[in-house]
Structure formats: C-alpha cells, structure tokens
C-alpha cells in the first residue's frame, strides 16, 4: 500500500489522492474559525472529563489531554502556535497539535464526538458570551440616555410627525423613546441567549454515539441549560445564529434611525444639538465642515448587518438534514455581526455621553409651526365645545396667524375671541410651550414630571437587569 497522501489529515485513511491545493484552501475555515479556539478547548476539556468519568478514557489520559490543551491555549495566546490550512479548521489544528504534544492520548479525545457536534457547541459557547457583552453595551448606552434625559427633562423641543412640527415635547421624553427601543432590543438578545443555551455535544456526527456517554454531566461542566433533544437537529440547527442576526438587525435599524436624527439635528438648519469634536471629522477641502461621521457610519453599517441576516437565512433554507458543509458559512456573518454591533453600541454610548443641547434653538423651533394648536382645541373642549367644532375654530385662528405671520400665543385676546367667545384670558396658560408639555401629565406623556418618573422606573429596571447577570 502507498503511504497516505493526506498524512496530516485525520480522515486520510480512505483517500488515495492528495487534496487539490486550491480545494484545500477553498474549503478551509481556519482563517476565521481559529477565533473559536478558547471555546473549542473548553468543549474538549469537558468532553474529556466526561469520557474519563464514564471509564471511556483513563484518568491519566484525561489529565494529559487537559494539560496538553492548556499548553496549546497558551501557545495560541502568545502567538507561538502555527496554524495550518491543510488541517482545515480550528478543531483539527488543535487536535493535531494535541497529539504532537502528548502522543496517543491525544488521538483518543475524539472518541464519541464529531466535528459536527463540536463546531455547533463551539459557536453556541462563543455566542452565549458574545450576547453577554452586547447586553452590557446596550445597558451602557441606555444609561447614557437616562443621564441625558434627566439633564434635559424639561428642555422643550418640537415633536414631529411627517417631519413637520406637530406638538411641543421635551428632549428628555424624546431620549426616553430611544431608551424604550433599546429595552426591547435587550429583551430580544436575552431571548436569543435562552435558545442558544442548549448543548449539541453527544449528537456526534448526526445519530448519537455507541459509547456510554453522560450528556447531562458535559452539559453541567459547560454551564449549558440543557442538552439538545434530538441529535439530527443538534448538529444542523443554526436558528440561534439567525435569531442573533435578526435581533442585531432590529437593533441596527433602531441605531440607524437614531443616527438619522442626530445627523439632522446637528445640521446648521436644525442646530438642536452639538456632537462633541471627538465624534466628528472635518473636510479636507472645506475648512468650515464638521461632519457627523460616527452616526453616518452606524447608519451605513445597518445595511451590512441586514445583509448578514439574509445570508444566514438563505444559507439554511435549502439544507436537508443533518450537517452540511454549507454551515461553515455561518461564522463570518456571525462574527462580523457581533463585532459591528458591539462597536456601534460602544461608540454610541460614548457619543451620547457628550451631546450638547442648544436649548434656545429647540425652543424657537417648537414655537414655529403652531405647535400649541391642539392645546387651544383641548382648551375649547374644556369650555364645553365639541372637539370637531373646536378643531374648526382653531383651524381658522391658525389660518389668520399664518396670514399675519404670528403664532397663536402672539395673538391678543381680542383677536382670539373673534374665533370663539368661549376664549378667556386663561387661554395663554395653555398656549405657552411649558403649559403645553406640562399638561400631558400621564404615564407615557411628555410632561417633565412624567419624564422624571419614567427615568426613575428605568433606573430600577436596569438595576434588576444587572442583578440577574
Ligand atoms: N469547519 C467545519 C464547519 O465550520 C467544521 C465541521 C466540519 N464537519 C464536517 N463533517 N466536514 O462547519
């Protein structure tokens, strides 16, 4: 018999010809999945412990495996590990190095296991950790928003519908809208983590294994919620990856909308806020420019994350059970998603901690566009006039104001009374911006008092979330 042509490969036995050089590089994943080395080693140590406890490995073999893997981890972390493309992926690279390190015991590690359940386990271990970091970053951004909302709880700004001035609101209330979106995002990641927290190990290639393994014990060692119920599903399921990308996409959709507002608000035309210099860049040609690059880039990254969600959904849609090599394509979109949402959240939290507000400008803008017209209608309803009639009366008053170039609050009492004799001098209390926002004094309303109460409730919520970690 000829010497095997794929001598370094653990599956060389069946093959006569060496792998085509290009195919070897094309099918390898070590270039990106080496990032999973810590989780791969963690999974292998738990697997070896379980095998020894079940008498499938000797205690000596198990100790040698654990020691060897520890030394390999150290070598990887200090840059002294030689990754090899011909060993295809992180799993075979580490197993090969282990055998070189400790001899035959290394060859026994793969007993009752396959790369199929191994890789599914590694990604779940990695993702669980990653979700923890994402949750921490969301909380940090939410905290920055609470601080800003508290500082600006009574700052008046125009609220918009159709990007037209609608009614006065407070800047704090607006910030708390973003807080609420992020709160749902945190909930989605927590939910995703629950389903990622299931252990595939023990499924082996697809059908389970003939060895007397103890999956509950491996599960306990790795801190998973429970072992996967079905071996076929365990090795082929990537729902958790799709869910993560979906939660990430919704988060990025929120950050992108948020970015859009920051970009508009920091423009000369709005002039509501000033982003700190540390989060902007200049122009190489126009000396006056200060560009909101950070929110623009986050808005741009939303597209890339949506793309990853589409890639993962499409990756899965045609796959028959159980494992297929297609699944190797799950990692790059996942890694890129995690890196970019983490980065976007971090930069946003830092940026929102340094936002300057131009209160005068916001106030002036809220005064324009007859933003207290609804308040005047509500006032008339309070005087016994049906809302539809009140709406008509105020419409006429607004038309008069437009012709005159004056806001409702700038009309005198005689002028106002021409539209309805029910109007008294107390009307000016409701036509002021402060009166308008203070009157919306119920849960969810824009009154400064309610904004402060919402902030207090949110701080308690965040404390509970931190307590659960
Ligand atoms: N690199 C592979 C992946 O990421 C590991 C599993 C390979 N399994 C196999 N049967 N070829 O999916």
The answer as to whether 210 is a domain residue is no
418/372 same-domain check:
yes
CATH number at residue 90: 1.10.275.10
The answer as to whether 3 is a domain residue is no
373/456 same-domain check:
yes
Is ligand 1 within 6 A of the CB of residue 89?
yes
Residue keyed to tokens 């931190």: 466
253/337 same-domain check:
yes
Between 466 and 399, the more confident residue is 399
Evaluate if residue 466 carries a pLDDT over 70. yes
283 is catalytic: yes
pLDDT, one tens digit per residue, over 327-357 is 999 999 999 999 999 999 999 999 999 999 9
448/316 same-domain check:
no
- Give the distance (Å) from ligand 1 centre to CA of residue 310: 21
Average pLDDT over residues 239-260: 98
pLDDT, one tens digit per residue, over 183-201 is 999 999 999 999 999 999 9
In this structure, the residue with its CA closest to atom 11 of ligand 1 is 325
Is ligand 1 within 6 A of the CB of residue 209?
no
Catalytic residue among 283, 284, 354, 391: 283
- Give the distance (Å) from ligand 1 centre to CA of residue 149: 49
Band of the pLDDT at 381, cuts 50, 70, 90? very high
The answer as to whether 382 is a domain residue is yes
Longest dimension (CA), the chain: 110
d(Cα 380, Cα 103) in Å, to the nearest integer?
90
Is ligand 1 within 6 A of the CB of residue 29?
yes
* Residue among 35, 232, 325, 326 whose CB has most ligand 1 atoms within 8 A, to mutate: 325
330/462 same-domain check:
no
The answer as to whether 218 is a domain residue is no
Evaluate if residue 4 carries a pLDDT over 70. no
Average pLDDT over residues 451-466: 95
**Residues of 188-216 as b/e, b for ≥16 C-beta within 10 angstroms?**
bbeebbeebbbbbbbbbebebbebebbbe
d(Cα 182, Cα 306) in Å, to the nearest integer?
18
258/172 same-domain check:
yes
Cβ distance 131 to 230 under 8 Å? no
Confidence at residue 282, expressed as pLDDT on a 0 to 100 scale: 79
Angle formed at CA 40 by CA 35 and CA 45, multiple of 5 degrees: 150
Catalytic residue among 162, 249, 344, 442: 162
- Give the distance (Å) from ligand 1 centre to CA of residue 214: 24
d(Cα 401, Cα 395) in Å, to the nearest integer?
10
d(Cα 127, Cα 32) in Å, to the nearest integer?
15
259/386 same-domain check:
no
267/354 same-domain check:
yes
Evaluate if residue 3 carries a pLDDT over 60. no
* Residue among 86, 127, 237, 327 whose CB has most ligand 1 atoms within 8 A, to mutate: 327
In this structure, the residue with its CA closest to atom 2 of ligand 1 is 328
54/166 same-domain check:
no
Which of 129-143, 218-232, 275-289, 369-383 comes out lowest in average pLDDT? 275-289
How many structural domains comprise the chain? 3
Last residue of a domain, one of 317, 341, 364: 364
To the nearest whole number, what is the mean pLDDT of the chain? 95
Percent with pLDDT over 70 in the chain: 99
Q: What domain range includes position 72?
A: 18-111
Confidence at residue 467, expressed as pLDDT on a 0 to 100 scale: 83
pLDDT, one tens digit per residue, over 355-378 is 999 999 999 999 888 999 999 999
Evaluate if residue 2 carries a pLDDT over 50. no
| Ligand 1 atom, smallest distance to 331 CA | 4
102/133 same-domain check:
no
354 is catalytic: no
CATH number at residue 394: 1.10.40.30
The answer as to whether 2 is a domain residue is no
The answer as to whether 209 is a domain residue is no
47/174 same-domain check:
no
Q: What is the pTM of this model?
A: 0.94
- Give the distance (Å) from ligand 1 centre to CA of residue 118: 9
291/172 same-domain check:
yes
Three-state secondary structure readout of the chain: CCCCCCCCCCCHHHCCCCCCHHHHHHHCCHHHHHHHHHHHHHHHHHHHHHHHHCCCCCHHHHHHHHHHHHHHHHHHHCCCCCCCHHHCCHHHHHHHHHHHHHCHHHHHCCCCCCHHHHHHHHHHHHHHHHHHHHHHHHHHHHHHHHHHHHHCCCCEEEEEECCEEEEEEEHHHHHHHHHHHHHHHHHHHHHHHHHHCEECCCCCCCCCCCCCCCHHHHHHHHCCCEECCCHHHHHHCCHHHHHHHHHHHHHHHHHHHHHHHHHHHCCCCCCCEECCHHHCECCCCCCCCCECHHHHHHHHHHHHHHHHHHHHHHHHHCCCCCCCHHHHHHHHHHHHHHHHHHHHHHHHHHHHCCCEECHHHHHHHHHCCCCCHHHHHHHHHHCCCCHHHHHHHHHHHHHHHHHHCCCHHHCCHHHHHCCCCCCCCCHHHHHCHHHHHHCCCCCCCCCHHHHHHHHHHHHHHHHHHHHHC
* Residue among 15, 88, 116 whose CB has most ligand 1 atoms within 8 A, to mutate: 116
Is ligand 1 within 6 A of the CB of residue 116?
yes
Last residue of a domain, one of 364, 385, 405: 364
Band of the pLDDT at 5, cuts 50, 70, 90? low
The answer as to whether 6 is a domain residue is no
């Amino acid at each position: 018999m000829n010497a095997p042509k794929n001598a370094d490969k653990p599956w060389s036995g069946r093959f006569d010809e060496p792998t085509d050089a290009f195919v070897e590089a094309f099918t390898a994943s070590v270039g990106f999945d080496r990032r999973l080395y810590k989780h791969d080693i963690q999974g292998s140590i738990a697997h070896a412990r379980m095998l020894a406890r079940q008498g499938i490995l000797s205690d000596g073999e198990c100790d040698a495996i654990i020691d060897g893997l520890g030394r390999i981890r150290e070598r990887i972390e200090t840059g002294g590990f030689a990754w090899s493309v011909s060993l295809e992926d992180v799993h075979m690279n580490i197993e090969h190095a282990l055998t070189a390190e400790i001899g035959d015991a290394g060859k026994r590690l793969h007993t009752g296991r396959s790369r199929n359940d191994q890789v599914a386990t590694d990604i779940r271990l990695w993702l669980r950790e990653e979700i923890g970091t994402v949750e921490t970053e969301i909380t940090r951004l939410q905290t920055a928003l609470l601080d800003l909302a508290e500082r600006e709880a009574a700052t008046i700004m125009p609220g918009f519908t159709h990007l037209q001035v609608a009614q006065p609101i407070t800047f704090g209330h607006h910030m708390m809208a973003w807080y609420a979106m992020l709160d749902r995002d945190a909930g989605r990641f927590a939910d995703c983590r629950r389903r990622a927290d299931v252990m595939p190990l023990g499924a082996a290639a697809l059908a389970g294994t003939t060895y007397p393994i103890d999956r509950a014990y491996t599960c306990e060692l790795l801190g998973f919620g429970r072992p996967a119920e079905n071996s076929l599903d365990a090795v082929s399921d990537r729902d958790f990856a799709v869910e993560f990308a979906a939660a990430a996409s919704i988060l990025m959709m929120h950050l992108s909308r948020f970015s859009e507002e920051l970009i508009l608000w920091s423009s000369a035309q709005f002039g509501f806020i000033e982003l700190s210099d540390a989060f902007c860049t200049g122009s190489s040609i126009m000396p006056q420019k200060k560009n909101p690059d950070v929110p623009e880039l986050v808005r741009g990254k939303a597209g890339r994350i949506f793309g990853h969600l589409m890639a993962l959904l499409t990756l899965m849609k045609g796959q028959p059970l159980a494992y297929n090599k297609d699944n190797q394509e799950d990692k790059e979109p996942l890694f890129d998603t995690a890196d970019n949402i983490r980065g976007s959240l971090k930069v946003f939290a830092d940026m929102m901690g340094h936002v300057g507000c131009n209160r005068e400008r916001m106030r002036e803008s809220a005064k324009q566009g007859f933003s207290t017209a609804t308040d005047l209608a509500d006032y008339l309803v309070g005087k016994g006039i049906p809302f539809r009639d009140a709406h008509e009366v105020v419409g006429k008053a607004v038309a008069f104001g437009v012709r005159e170039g004056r806001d409702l609050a700038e009309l005198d009492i005689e002028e106002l009374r021409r539209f309805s004799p029910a109007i008294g001098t107390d009307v000016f209390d409701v036509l002021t911006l402060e009166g308008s926002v203070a009157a919306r004094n119920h849960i969810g309303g824009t009154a400064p008092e309610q904004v402060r109460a919402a902030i207090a409730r949110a701080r308690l919520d965040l404390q509970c979330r931190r307590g659960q970690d």
